A and B are shown apart, each in its own frame.
Chain A
């Protein structure tokens, strides 16, 4: 039972490069979301999706794009990486229809932008 799988685990980018962080879940969860966590801080919501074809912005969406073409996958795209985007990125999912469902988190992608 894989749960939420994030790839890659580590990534180093140069300023201006683009990349996509992958997130996949095998629990048939409708709701998926991306968070970033800076050192010593809590998690901040970047984008979320309540189902295939539906996405919305969280607290810190600037510099990131998302799409949700399938229930299983929710990739996060950095179009032009900046040093301020150096962080640990977590993907999380939960059942959508039932309100009282907890989030399941992946193990994170550690991104460094130089």
Chain B
């Protein structure tokens, strides 16, 4: 599985968009990009995933560059409850595809 690189921490003002970057320069054609977040010490929560196209759901948007070597998770209107550790993962599209978690980005939303 490809490795990902994320900044260790970011701040965002409440109500503003939070843009979390992720580099995955060695991603393969059959690897998906997934984003999860972990609030306090709870189990990680799935946010969104994509392969080539940009994706949007009720929680966030995912922008994947055309060469697929990087992506950005966008929380359009961050709230204090979005303070969490955000993990970007790439995983091969097979039954045995493993999800390897790095240290993620700690996002702090400030009032």
Contact = CB atoms under 8 A, between A and B. Distances in A.
Nearest to B43: A105
Contact of B49 (A35, A102, A106, A107): A102
Interface residues of A, number: 31
Contact of A45 (B36, B96, B98, B103): B98
B100 A96 contact: no
Given A90-B44, A108-B42, A103 B103 contact: no
* Interface majority SS (helix, strand, loop, mixed), chain A: strand
Given A42-B102, A43-B101, A106 B95 contact: no
Contacts of B44: 43, 90, 92, 103, 105
Contacts, number: 70
A45 B100 contact: yes
B45 interface: yes
A44 interface: yes
Closest 5 CB pairs of A and B: A99-B93, A105-B43, A102-B46, A43-B101, A42-B103
